[in-house]
Chains A and B, each alone.
Chain A
Amino acid sequence: MPVSAFLVLAGVLFAIGAVGVLISRNIIVLFMCVELMLNSANLALIAFSRALHVVDGHAFVFLVLTVAAAEVAVGLAMVITIFRNRETINIDRISILKW
């Protein structure tokens, strides 16, 4: 398969993720969209790495996965704090400060 096929898939996933972040109202769904963006970048890295016959891209993917895991750990902890204080995780209702 040509590398362009993988890139198109990565681009579509990235776009779905980015649009999702902008329109979704639930923080958990927002997280999933951000993960989708990061993983589409991973897909692009692997595709490029294979097309160029270098292994750097494969290694970077592991770094990115670790980073994403750390981010989600912090993010979910924050969602739990917010839910305890507010009983909602709807981003529209979390607006004491002007958005």
Chain B
Amino acid sequence: MIDEAVASIDLNLIAPELTLLITACVILLFSFARSMQRGASAVGFAGLVVALVLSANQWGHQASGFFGMVTCDNYGAMFKIIFCVASLLALLLAVRYFSQRGLNRPEFYALLLISTLGMMVMANTSDLVVMFLGLEIMSVPLYVMAGYVRRSLESNEAGIKYFLMGAFASGFLLMGIAFVFGASGTTDLRRLVTDFNFIVSNFDLFLSLGGALVLIGFAFKVAAVPFHAWVPDVYQGAPTPVTAFFSVGPKAAGFAVLFRIFTFGFGDLEVLTNLFWILAVLTMTVGNVLALRQDNIKRMLAYSSIAHAGYVLVALAVGTQGAVSAAIFYLVAYMMFNTGAFAVLTMLETRAGSKSNFSELAGLAKANPYLSAVLALFMFALSGFPPTVGFFGKFYLFASAVNNGFIWLAIIGVMNSFLSVYYYLRVVKVSYFDSPEGAWTPVPFSTAIIVVLFVTAIGTLGLGFFPGELLKLSQTSLIAFL
């Protein structure tokens, strides 16, 4: 039953969320002022840093409040830190990209903050309805961000496609929640599991139907095959800093919720293991195979992000705590090198008329040796070469699969990684060995993007040399996992 401690309205539990909400409101309210129009990015940056510190402060606290709707634990704190960092990096990328296009308006930063707030709400609860609300708070600003460049037909198209697919998926998710509620009379995963012992004692139609529909809803969000059709178009059409955010933030949020629901909540259902096995293999394979023959780098990275979602799905199939901590490690690692790759693309797109096609990379190594060296580093990390963090991410994931008897899953995963080397190294090959067709257009210098490149490159290499610390951190985040 709900006791007083659980029912309490304790604002400390939602301090990071409140910070972001207030910052976003301030940005919107004062967006008429000249100084805010120029300084919105700085205000947003400050808000995100404060939220990051407050989230880190929640590390080690275990509490529940707002009538059981909000659950604070290490797991939530860990993911909140991931969201804040992803959002900070995307913000730094966006400043230059949008100001160059005359689109650096305050509302973009408000949208980014509200979207991050939604992700935090998702990670910070064990109630299905609050997860749904968080998902919507996250998604609705994302639709706008995808279609943010109003005059660009590609951006329009990305926005509307993302919107239609997202709304379609929330329909499934909501129906799923309704059925779980109908089967058990509660939407709180903790009550479902501990108080009622419901899942162990009852196998009933409504519950499995509900679980399946919830899975479909979130599979759309993390872009698991066969629910991935929207990803390439949206990633290619959206402004590049937004794509960088898409491929990291919402994906991590989706997995945060999936792990909570399906390794904790519905963890005892046998059928799930097979389902996630199939989903993981399909997602890895389809993503990698389709990435092989893309001419646009953003589109290639979109398919690669599908493949990486497949690697993380391996952890859901395995379903042990060790696998989940490996998945958290992988999500952090992926945030580093994927945002880095998109940062290089953003930098290249500050040249006029750039569409991020492979051919535009030709001659990069001669003109900008440092830039092409970091790009190569991120590509090696994406394909999982040591000593980058990409190698350890995959190593921990597949090791957890092997340790729990999922040998074939690990073998298919490793084969897929080999396949992916081809298209990642094609980027390196074009930038080092191909000569440009016309004259090379110089890449303008941008401090904010350099900062992002620096942080992500340090992260990719540093975590590669000392992976133990991060792994320990992600293991601690699962203490009293709920």
Contact = CB atoms under 8 A, between A and B. Distances in A.
A92 interface: no
B160 A79 contact: yes
B136 A67 contact: yes
Contact of B170 (A38, A91, A99): A38
A16 to B, nearest CB: 12
Contacts of A18: 168, 171-172
B147 interface: yes
Contacts of B168: 18, 21, 34, 37
Contacts, number: 128
Contacts of A63: 129, 132-133
Given A63-B129, A86-B153, A98-B232, A45 B181 contact: yes
A97 interface: yes
Nearest to A70: B140
B164 interface: yes
Interface string B160-171: 110110011011
Contacts of B133: 63, 67
A97 B158 contact: yes
Contacts of B161: 97, 99
B154 A96 contact: yes
Contacts of B177: 41, 45, 60
B175 A44 contact: yes
Contacts of A60: 129, 177, 181, 187
Interface size class of B (residues with CB under 8 A): 35 or more
A64 B151 CA distance: 32
B233 interface: yes
Given A48-B178, A70-B140, A78-B147, A94 B237 contact: no
Query: Which of A10, A51, A56 is the most central at the interface, judged by chain B CB atoms within 10 Å of its CB?
Result: A56
A71 B140 contact: yes
A96 B129 contact: no
A78 B163 contact: yes
B349 interface: no
A49 B258 CA distance: 25
Interface of B: 129, 132-133, 136, 140, 143-144, 147, 150-151, 153-154, 156-161, 163-164, 167-168, 170-172, 174-175, 177-179, 181-182, 185-187, 229, 232-233, 236-237
Given A57-B181, A78-B163, 7 more contacts: A41-B178, A44-B178, A63-B132, A67-B170, A71-B167, A75-B167, A98-B232
17 contacts: A10-B175, A14-B171, A21-B168, A34-B164, A38-B174, A57-B181, A64-B174, A74-B163, A75-B160, A78-B156, A81-B150, A81-B156, A86-B156, A94-B160, A97-B154, A97-B161, A97-B236
